[in-house]
Amino acid sequence: MATRTTLKTPLPTTFFTLLSLLIFLSPSLANDDFTSSPCNLTPHPTFCTATLPSPNILSVHDQCRFFLNQSLVITKKVLEMVSSYLRDRRMRIPGSTLHAIEDCVNSAELNIDFLSIVLRAAERTAANSYQAHYYDTQTMLSAVLTNHQTCMDGFNEVTPYPRITGGLSSVLSNAYKLYSVSLALFAHGWVKNPAARPRTTMNRKLHQTILDGDEGLVVREKVVVNPNGSGDFTTINDAVDAAPNNTGTNNGYHVIYVVAGIYNEYVSLSKNKQNVMIVGDGINRTVITGNRSVVDGWTTFQSATFAVAGKGFVAVNITFRNTAGPAKHQAVAVRNSADMSTFYTCSFEGYQDTLYTHSLRQFYKNCDIYGTVDFIFGNAATLFQDCNIFPRLPMQNQFNAITAQGRMDPNQNTGISIQNSWIVGNDGNYSRVETYLGRPWKEYSRTVYVQCFMDGIVDGKGWVEWNGDFALRTLYFAEFANWGPGSNTTNRVTWEGYHLVDENDADGFTVYNFIQGDSWLPKTGVPFKAGL
């Protein structure tokens, strides 16, 4: 995770940190009537007004379409610029900077896809009938901002390269504002209210094992990975490469069964690998392991042992591990950028930055997560249900922060919701280790603990600052009906953004409301509880 410190002193400010700060210091939301002045309800009203060709004529829907089109144009420009650096053989770019550029290429390509999908839907759909697509569209536009921020964050982790940073600064800043304005215009003005969906009244239960077939699970094809040669493939990467591309998410799962064993592989499922399900033989039996880290020259984004971007991904009965250790700082076990993705009975093992819940909508059920500094982080709409969270023993002078959520815009539908889970100690004596529920990585960081057991390892303060008073007014940290010795809220922080919420507010962070999981989780065969 970029620009973060594992100690209690801030890292030096780099060019892109300053760029991000300038973006966040743009004028805040105004209270003017949205119908008469739509730009006033965006985070960048001056930029919005100055960019519009005719602000007094365009309807809010036309304005939204205009900014979406401008967003697509500038994204293609960003892609061309960053790609040109990779093609220019005269530039002697350090390896770590090349990784950051590669992150930008990846982010821009994803954003072109997302913006194209949104624009096609907006151009063929009447505004008053667009409500059914509200959640999907807001999710994609939220991810566009997250992807772009990932591009900028990558440069914070490498040695500054003035020729690149100088050339990109203006276009990256303008792109961020265009994305933010597009999201705001859609979220506040495209429809009056999101479409009402039928409420799920029963919770999903798993009746049979996934491999044997579940009544809600459709398997299109199943292949076997076994290193001894008795299966279809000997490596996970070979099986992933052979999986069909662009199948959509309504045609059943392509199942990859990985027999017990330790797989020293860096696995990446691209956006084209949709509806892939990887099933192992159990936690600590099927293990995918690696040791990349920021200290060794990778960006946080590229340090992942396992990465997935294909929509509809499911993982079952697998351990994902990064063995770089605490001294190597940011070292990701899993990076998840897959919409409507699910991890069931899996474990995630690392230290700093173990699980990167990068973007879109994600669900984790009956999983174990181990780590130290910010070990659950990212900017997806993420829900953990019935999970075990194990803070480990960090390096000397470090503290544990379980979460570092990265919501950077008030209109993003992202956050971390941890429901009915257990926070308990691991790795020995914790009397000298400060452990907190989370800290704000970005300005609108949002994390909620609902009905969780908190062991005595959780500091009475509960939450910890990122850097001074940064984000303490704009973040949203909340607790509801937690229990155990670490759940006592008597000495909790008194920040403006911290809340003790009631049942009604907590319900907004459930499977039904927060990730619309009742509409897509049933076909995975994974059990879930839709409400509190």
Instruction: Give the tens place of pLDDT for each residue, 367-382.
Output: 999 999 999 999 999 9
pLDDT at 54 over 70: yes
The pair phi, psi for residue 78, each rounded to 5°, is -60, -45
Confidence of residue 10 (pLDDT cuts 50, 70, 90): very low
Closest CA to 307 of 98, 514, 144, 106: 106
* Cα distance between the two ends of the chain: 31
Summarize the confidence of residues 343-353 as an average pLDDT.
98
Q: Please give the order of strands across the beta sheet that includes 400-405.
A: 267-269, 306-308, 334-336, 355-357, 373-378, 400-405, 435-440
Rg (C-alpha) for the chain, rounded Å, is 22
Which fold would CATH assign to domain 38-190?
Butyryl-CoA Dehydrogenase, subunit A; domain 3 (1.20.140)
Q: Could you give the 3-state DSSP secondary structure of residue 277? A: strand
pLDDT at 34 over 70: no
Neighbours of 12 (CB within 10 A): 7
Q: Could you give the 3-state DSSP secondary structure of residue 282? A: coil
Distance, CA of 521 to CA of 341 (rounded, Å):
9
CB 197 within 8 A of CB 516: yes
Structure tokens given for 244: 């069909």
Summarize the confidence of residues 128-133 as an average pLDDT.
60
Neighbours of 129 (CB within 10 A): 10
Residue type, 468: G
Summarize the confidence of residues 493-521 as an average pLDDT.
96
Pairing, β 319-322 against β 334-336: unpaired
Mean pLDDT of the chain: 87
Summarize the confidence of residues 344-352 as an average pLDDT.
98
CB 333 within 8 A of CB 372: no
Mark out the alpha helices in 125-217 (DSSP H runs): 134-156, 162-185
Distance, CA of 133 to CA of 122 (rounded, Å):
10
Higher per-residue pLDDT: 410 or 128: 410
Structure tokens given for 481: 């009906």
Neighbours of 309 (CB within 10 A): 23
Q: Which residues pair with 369 in a beta bridge?
A: 348, 389
Q: Which CATH code for domain 282-524?
A: 2.160.20.10
Mark out the alpha helices in 379-507 (DSSP H runs): 503-506
Neighbours of 519 (CB within 10 A): 15
Angle ∠(336,399,143) on CA atoms, nearest 5: 25
CB 357 within 8 A of CB 336: yes
Q: Could you give the 3-state DSSP secondary structure of residue 348? A: strand
The per-residue pLDDT for 14 is: 46
Closest CA to 302 of 147, 4, 102: 102
| Residues tagged active-site | 374
The per-residue pLDDT for 59 is: 80
Q: Do domains 38-190 and 282-524 have the same CATH topology?
A: no
Q: Which residues pair with 206 in a beta bridge?
A: none
CB 264 within 8 A of CB 289: yes
Q: How do the domains of the chain map onto residue ranges?
A: 38-190, 282-524
CB 242 within 8 A of CB 272: no
Instruction: Give the tens place of pLDDT for each residue, 219-273.
Output: 999 999 999 999 999 999 999 999 999 998 888 999 999 999 999 999 999 999 9
Neighbours of 195 (CB within 10 A): 12
Tell me the HSE value of 166 on the side-chain side, using a 13 A CA sphere: 3
Distance from the Cα of residue 170 to its chain's centroid: 26
The per-residue pLDDT for 28 is: 37
Max intra-chain CA distance, the chain? 69
The per-residue pLDDT for 377 is: 98
The per-residue pLDDT for 58 is: 73
Structure tokens given for 70: 């401008």
Residues contacting residue 234 through CB under 8 Å, at least 6 positions apart: 225, 226, 227, 228
Helix axes 162-185, 95-124, angle to 10 degrees: 20
Instruction: Give the tens place of pLDDT for each residue, 56-97.
Output: 667 888 889 999 999 999 999 999 999 998 887 667 777 778
Closest CA to 153 of 375, 3, 365: 3
What Cα–Cα distance (Å) separates residue 509 from each residue in 240, 245, 402, 501? 33, 33, 18, 11
